[in-house]
Amino acid sequence: MLGSIGMPELIIIFVIALIIFGPRKLPELGRSLGKSLAEFKRASNELRSTLEEEIRLEDQKARVEPPRAAEASAAPIQTHPDEPPVMAGASGKVDKSA
Q: What is the pLDDT along the chain (98 residues), one digit of tens a residue?
A: 556 888 899 899 889 988 998 888 988 988 999 999 999 999 999 999 999 999 999 999 888 876 665 555 555 565 666 766 555 555 555 555 54
First and final CA of the chain: distance in angstroms? 66
What pTM was computed for the model?
Answer: 0.48
Domain coordinates in residue numbering, the chain:
7-65
The closest of 85, 61, 53, 91 to 73, measured between CA atoms, is 91
* Phi and psi angles of residue 14, each rounded to the nearest 5 degrees, phi first: -65, -45
Residue 92 CA to residue 98 CA, distance in Å, equals 15
Contacts of 18 (CB under 8 A, 6+ apart): 26
